[in-house]
């Protein structure tokens, strides 16, 4: 298990358990063996739009990590970097660190906006005939193809070992079927998912 600096108190997380972006934070905490106080936030009830929530994150999104009474950190992948800083989950080597970030930015720009949004439309909004799904499916498959190519050559996304880049991409990929994506055509992705699942602390995301 990687060795982070021990926190004085359990980390306080505001998140939605069935959100992949929030599940990332749960995974990092569990893999690092860090205690956590989880405050469940219901997106569909508008709980990310209250004045209290917007004071923590003006962008109105979960997850949020509370650092101290007046300090909050938003953006799931930035939270991963914060939690993993100094541990083996975020490589110390300059290039390996940047390659991990490369895949985390890929996740937020090319992967999540297609695969997570398709899942949200199907699983949360129950709109299986939404006209946006065709384009989201095309973009999601393109992202999976990029992953497949990389994972055909390397066991993990950066530094040759399990890192926060894998946690970031595992979150929505292991539930891609809920967005209408069939992983049968992506054997390298499926092998990598199995390697991620074998890491101590890695769990499946709860269903919506």
C-alpha distances out from residue 94 to 24, 52, 88, 100, 164, Å: 23, 38, 13, 10, 15
Based on CB atoms, which residue is closest to its own copies, 17 or 108? 108
Question: Contacting its own copies (CB under 8 A), which of 98, 154, 182, 206?
Answer: 98
**152 binds its own copies per the rule CB under 8 A:** no
Checking phi first, is residue 112 left (phi over 0); if not, alpha (psi -120 to 50) or beta?
Answer: alpha
**17 binds its own copies per the rule CB under 8 A:** no
Query: How is residue 157 written in tokens?
Result: 């996304």
At 14, give phi and psi (nearest 5°): -100, 115
CA pair distance 40, 137, nearest whole angstrom: 30
Query: How is residue 139 written in tokens?
Result: 């973009």
Question: Contacting its own copies (CB under 8 A), which of 35, 37, 67, 203?
Answer: 67
To the nearest whole angstrom, how small is the minimum distance from the Cβ of residue 65 to its own copies?
A: 9
Using the rule CB under 8 A, give the single segment among 9-17, 23-31, 142-150, 174-182 that binds its own copies. Answer: 142-150
**58 binds its own copies per the rule CB under 8 A:** yes
**40 binds its own copies per the rule CB under 8 A:** no
**71 binds its own copies per the rule CB under 8 A:** yes
**97 binds its own copies per the rule CB under 8 A:** yes
Name every residue whose Cβ is closer than 8 Å to that of residue 81 and which is 6 or more positions away in sequence: 90, 101, 104, 164
**Which residues here bind its own copies, judged by CB under 8 A?**
58-59, 67, 71, 73-79, 81-82, 85-86, 94-95, 97-99, 101-102, 104-106, 108-110, 112-113, 145-146, 149-150
């Amino acid at each position: 298990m990687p060795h982070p600096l021990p926190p004085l108190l359990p980390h306080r997380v505001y998140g939605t358990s069935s959100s992949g972006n929030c599940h990332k934070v749960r995974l990092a905490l569990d893999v690092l063996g860090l205690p956590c106080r989880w405050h469940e936030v219901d997106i569909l009830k508008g709980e990310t739009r209250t004045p209290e929530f917007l004071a923590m994150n003006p962008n109105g999104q979960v997850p949020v990590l509370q650092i101290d009474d007046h300090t909050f950190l938003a953006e799931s992948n930035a939270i991963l970097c914060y939690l993993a800083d100094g541990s083996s989950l975020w490589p110390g080597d300059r290039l390996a660190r940047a390659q991990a970030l490369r895949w985390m930015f890929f996740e937020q720009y090319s992967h999540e906006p297609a695969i997570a949004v398709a899942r949200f439309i199907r699983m949360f909004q129950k709109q299986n005939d939404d006209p946006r799904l065709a384009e989201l499916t095309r973009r999601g498959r393109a992202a999976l193809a990029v992953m497949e190519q990389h994972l055909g050559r390397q066991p993990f996304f950066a530094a040759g070992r399990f890192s926060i880049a894998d946690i970031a991409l595992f979150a929505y990929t292991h539930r891609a079927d809920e967005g209408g994506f069939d992983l049968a055509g992506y054997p390298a992705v499926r092998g990598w998912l199995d390697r991620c699942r074998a890491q101590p602390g890695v769990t499946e995301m709860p269903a919506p």
